Structure 1
Amino acid sequence: MKELLVVVPMTLALAVLAAACTESGSEDGNESLVSDSFQLGPLGGQATVYDSTSRAFSREVEKLSIEESRSFNRGRALFRDVWVIAPASTNTRDGLGPVFNARACEACHVEDGRGRPPEAGQPFTTMLVRLSIPGEGSHGEPLPVPNYGGQLQNFSVPGVPAEGSPSVEYLVQAGSFDDGEAYELLQPQYSFDNLAFGALPADLLFSPRVAPSMIGLGLLEAIPEQAIRDLADPEDQDGDGISGRINEVWDFEAEALKLGRFGWKANQPNLRQQTAGAFLGDIGITSSIFTNENCAEAQAECTAAASGSEDGQPELIDIILDDVTFYSATLAVPAQRNESDPEVIAGKALFFEANCNTCHVAQFETGDNPFSDRLAGQTIHPFTDLLLHDMGPELADNRPDFLASGREWRTPPLWGLGLIETVNSHSRLLHDGRARNISEAILWHGGEGQSSRDAYKAMSSSERQQLIKFLESL
């Protein structure tokens, strides 16, 4: 059976405008960062590496302790390991599924980098689809779809039906810059085939997501919560048209609502829960945080399938969860490149003139760090405020997630932006990969990003190239 849903374009996930302000967001800080000296400093502080090769996203923070380095290397192996069907002799790596989207973390985050959408009509491999119905759960979370759950699982172990097969086609949307130069954007249309448990509901809410890159995550967790809250302006009291909002999400271990900072809609409070959630949702692996198999009530074969759990322990034992989380936290940030190039410097000035800095904040000071002292007390330049922003109807997925509305997305970091093609052999951007390059990503901006998009469209061709060169230097 097949259902076709034509969606109004979805999120700004890799919003590609942005950045600069000091920790306090002062005007003087903005001016100093855009001066001719152009001294941003190492993007990740002492967690910066000078590598612009295809391995640039896979380097550990330098000078970790011996035990920290061992944990990093164990986590890297586990991140890349393929999980197998239970029961198996590798009893710490079995329990795949019974339904799943990938067999390993590396399958979606190739070389610790970005996923991409499939070619039209091809299977989803580094991209997945979140599902829900209107309403919210007891903590404000999205409600799962009856018979299918919260994420469409397009693979399964033998004897268990896969839930369905998502696919994407594109409509070409033509436009032009103010100087008359033409461009084309790709507007995705999604459909769902081979639905194993009946038709999807008429009020279905869904959101395709590509896997983001993994660099600098521990630094983002180390940004003090108050520094993020201080940037929020939900009522736009300063009148600049930007209304950054906090997402408050459920922390399963603390059993309390906490500030969200990870995920496309900032729906995870910390890396440990983000990691455990990905193991369950993407690979079908239970943990001490998420103890139940990823089987909807109607999926009898899924429920009856063998588990990798032993003696009441989850499939993902805590020591493995800790190592993979530590690995994710201590992947270093590649240094900026070509920062003294006059074209890059000119592009940075244009970046500020277009007021891109109001969402992608350039500078923070990290506080104490739960992972390593090497990440604490650092001046970093992530180009994000970790807040939710309304990006307009064209990028809306219309699927709320805790306090995030169907038009809001978390500002993604821009560090590493210019190395995605080197690492992952593609340049697809935004939450669903619809943008084929940085220019298209900017052109999809609406809502709070529209004025900056309009400024970009009004630039001359040479100015647009300069802006892109600055972004590619990050």
Structure 2
Amino acid sequence: MRNSTHQQWTKATKFALVSVAALSATSSLATELRDSHLNILPRTNQERTRIDAVTAAPEDFNAPQRFEDLSAGAATVRVRNDADTFSQPSANISFEQELDFKVGNGLFKKIWVSSPSSTLASDGLGPLYNARSCQRCHIKDGRGHTPNGQDDSAVSMFLRVSIPGTPEDAPAEIKDYIATLPDPNYGGQMQDFALAGHPAEYRLDITYEEISVELSGGETASLRRPTYKAADLGYGPLHPDAMLSPRVAPQMIGLGLLESIPVEDLLTKADPDDEDGDGISGRPNIVWSKEFGEPMIGRFGYKAGMPTVMEQSSAAFAGDIGISSPLYPAPYGDCTEAQINCIEAPHGDNDVRGFEIDEVGMDLVAFYSRNLGVPARRNTEDPTVLRGKEVFHTSGCASCHTPAYVTHRMPDRPEHSFQLIWPYTDLLLHDMGEDLADNRPEARATGREWRTPPLWGIGLTQRVSGHTQFLHDGRARNLLEAILWHGGEAQTARDTLVSMSITDRDALIRFLESL
């Protein structure tokens, strides 16, 4: 049964995520992708007209748009009054699929142990790691947090690291790819935990500088500018050209639906040369897929560096927990050749699983991750929320945070098929200015570019995660601060927020809190 399900998913993925073979003009690329994957049921002209109408920008802000409260279409779940509101299965999965979801949830929560162990299905941790389970970072399937004082670990936050590569290190099939390599001593990310007998790689040290920002109406906001340091290095110095970038674990909801947005719809939003002159020049990230052995559009991660949920999940098992899988078979995770004791340590391969988590397990984890339900919108008819929605559109926020899409028709994935969804993202890369720059490229993303994050569920962050920290590194302590950090292509929208009336500013925040 699991092999059949995996084969169906593999087939559906090839159709829904469509590989990127040509990387030149966006319009011709979209046409080629649309025409070359015939097992997706093609949209009729009548359907296209309906889709264009239902996803068009609103003209009337006195009432909600149709179906706007159903953030994930038929997959939308009710809003719970507790921290488990992000942990529900999509509303439209079948009764039989609920078992797969629950078993996948068990694997997502599983606490891994070191090898050798009598619990053969759970050994293989580390030797270097950031957490012992997926749930330890994605707490309640929500956002992670920055360290809270000296006694709080950075278990849901870490530093990515890389050094510049050469053109020979880039995939020849991908145009404008910025090659990077792992740090020779520390690999692709810094692990702050280790098994007994192995030193941890580092301790994350963060200091903040408070910055005052004057707003209209006599109001003032305070931003905290972070400085990051990899302290107490356990394996010698970092490479002189090492590039460090902080990451807080993102929320998990709606991933399968984001995976199902047609590539042509994303490429239609791209304007890399800003030909329309609006100052917004979103670009798709194109990455090399380990899963399919070809270039694909990136959708996941803060810089859209991963093309599929399966690949994102497998990379997290390897880098965060040190667990091998079919896509990342090294049993020692992110350890480097300079960490020979780590490489030679006992591991959990070579038992009946073949890998520390095998294809069956990864299939279940990926199914769970794709089908975490998106809660319904709240207060869509509230006049203040409606005014905030109008401000959101007129101030330019919707230029990147595209409200709505209709997903592919996919016979093999009915739970994600032909759904009207409201994720508020274009999944494209945008230059966000120097203040947010991490100066670390990822595939085609420059050191100033970030993927537009989905906004659905953002108003429930406090309920799920117990905080309101936003952006890739959690520096923003609320939604207002998050907007004030926007620069680059979003500078005009940010400046509009600063100068607008207090009433409109409050309404905009109320609208975001309703998502």
Q: Does 1:358 align with 2:399?
A: yes
1:412 aligns to 2:440 (yes or no): no
Q: Over aligned residues, Cα RMSD in angstroms?
A: 1.9
The alignment status of 1:189 with 2:213, answered yes or no, reads no
- Answering whether residue 321 of structure 2 is matched by residue 283 of structure 1, we say yes
1:128 to 2:149 alignment: no
1:308 aligns with 2:348: yes
Whole-angstrom distance in 1 between the partners of 2:376 and 2:406: 17
Corresponding position of 1:97? 126
Task: Count residues in correspondence.
Answer: 453
In 2: Cα distance, 1:185 partner to 1:299 partner: 39
Matched, 1:44 2:72: yes
Distance in 2 (alpha carbons) for counterparts of 1:25 and 1:261 = 22
State the TM-score, normalizing by the size of structure 1. Answer: 0.92
The answer for the alignment partner of 1:345 in structure 2 is: 386
Counterpart secondary structure, 1:334? coil
1:277 to 1:462, Cα distance in 2 relative to 1, 3 A: same
For 2:426, the aligned partner's letter is D
1:44 Cα deviation after fit? 0.3
Pick from 201, 212, 217 the counterpart of residue 163 of structure 1.
Answer: 201
2:111 aligns with one of 74, 82, 92:
82
Alpha carbons of structure 1 residues 23 and 251: separation in structure 2 relative to 1, 3 Å: farther
Give 1:226-375 correspondences, 5 Å limit: 226-292=264-330, 293=332, 294-311=334-351, 313-369=354-410, 372-375=413-416
Deviates more, 1:148-157 or 1:170-179: 170-179
The one-letter code sitting in structure 1 at the alignment partner of 2:56 is: G
- Deviation at 1:32? 4.2
| Cα distance in structure 2, aligned partners of 1:146 and 1:25 | 50
Where 1:332 maps in the other structure, the secondary structure is coil
Q: Give the aligned partner of residue 8 of structure 1.
A: none
* Shift in Å, 1:146: 1.2
1:29 aligned residue:
56
Superposition deviation, residue 253 in structure 1: 2.3
- The CA distance in 1 between the partners of 2:64 and 2:184, in whole Å, is 57
Given that 1:177 and 1:183 are in contact with CA atoms closer than 8 Å, whether structure 2 keeps it comes out as: yes
Residue in structure 1 matching 2:493, options 409, 433, 452:
452
Cα deviation, residue 303, structure 1:
1.0
Contact 1:169 1:189 in 2 (8 A): yes
Mapped to 2, the partners of 1:468 and 1:37 lie a distance apart of 17
Deviation at 1:314, TM superposition (A): 1.4
Distance in structure 2 (CA, Å) of the matches to 1:247 and 1:431? 17
- Contact persistence 1:130–1:207 (CA under 8 A): yes
* Whole-Å separation in 2 of the counterparts to 1:33 and 1:295: 56
Q: Matched residues in 2 for 1:58 and 1:208: separation?
A: 25
C-alpha distance in structure 2 between counterparts of 1:463 and 1:124, whole Å = 36
Whether contact under 8 Å (1:75, 1:326) holds in the other structure is yes
Query: What residue number does 1:15 align with?
Result: none
Structure 1 residue 52 displacement after superposition: 3.6
2:433 corresponds to which letter in structure 1?
G
Q: Distance in 2 between matches of 1:29 and 1:447?
A: 26
CA distance in 2, matches of 1:28, 1:160: 53
Sort the Cα spacing of 1:25 and 1:246 in 2 relative to 1 into closer, same or farther, 3 A: farther
Contact 2:254 2:371 in 1 (8 A): yes
Mean Cα displacement is larger for which, 341-350 or 307-316?
A: 307-316
Q: Secondary structure at the match of 2:444?
A: coil
Tell me which residue corresponds to 2:17: none
C-alpha distance in 1 between matches for 2:145 and 2:50: 33
* Cα deviation code 1:20-40 (max 9, x no counterpart): xx9977899213474534442
CA–CA distance in 1 between the matches of 2:402 and 2:50?
9
Q: 2-side partners of 1:23 and 1:330: how far apart?
A: 26
CA 1:24–1:173 in 2, change beyond 3 Å: closer, same or farther?
A: farther
> What CA distance in whole angstroms lies between the structure 1 residues aligned with 2:310 and 2:50?
26
> Percent identity over the alignment?
46
- Distance in 2, Cα, partners of 1:303 & 1:83: 18
Are the structure 2 counterparts of residues 184 and 25 from structure 1 closer, same or farther at C-alpha, using a change threshold of 3 Å?
A: farther
Q: How far apart, in 2, do the equivalents of 1:335 and 1:145 lie?
A: 43
Q: Higher mean Cα deviation, 275-284 or 30-39?
A: 30-39
Shift of 1:128: 1.0
Greater CA drift, 126-135 or 24-33: 24-33
d(CA) in 1 for partners of 2:378, 2:64: 15
Deviates more, 1:272-281 or 1:179-188: 179-188
User: Could you list the per-position Cα deviations for residues 300-358 of structure 1 after superposition, in whole angstroms to 9, with x for gaps in the alignment?
Assistant: 21011101002581111111100000000001100000111111111111111101110
Greater alpha carbon shift after TM alignment, 22-31 vs 353-362: 22-31
Q: Which moved more, 1:197-206 or 1:166-175?
A: 197-206
Please give the residue correspondences for 1:10-21 in structure 2 after superposition, counting only pairs within 5 Å. Answer: none
Name the aligned partner's letter for residue 155 of structure 2. T
Comparing 198-207 with 35-44, which one deviates more in the overlay? 35-44
- How far has the Cα of 1:368 moved from its partner? 3.7
What corresponds to 2:468 in structure 1? Answer: 427
Pick 1 or 2: higher relative contact order, CA cutoff 8 A, min separation 6: 1
1:473 aligns to 2:490 (yes or no): no
* Other structure's SS at 1:420 match: helix
Structure 2 Cα separation of the partners of residues 413 and 104 of structure 1: 24
Gaps (5+ residues) in structure 2? 1-48, 172-176
C-alpha contact 2:69 2:380 (8 A) present in aligned 1: no
Give, in whole Å, the separation in 1 of the partners of 2:267 and 2:102: 34
Q: Quick check: 2:51–2:406 contact (8 Å CA) kept in 1?
A: no
When residues 177 and 448 of structure 1 are mapped into structure 2, their CA distance, relative to the original with a 3 A threshold, is same
Aligned residue number for residue 58 of structure 1: 87
CA distance in 2 between partners of 1:324 and 1:34 (Å): 40
Residue 187 of structure 1: SS of its match in structure 2? Answer: strand
Q: Provide the secondary structure at the position in 2 that maps to 1:412.
A: coil
Q: Deviations over 1:385-437 (max 9, x none)?
A: 00000000000000000000000000000000000000110000000000000
Determine which of 198, 208, 211 is the counterpart of 2:249: 211
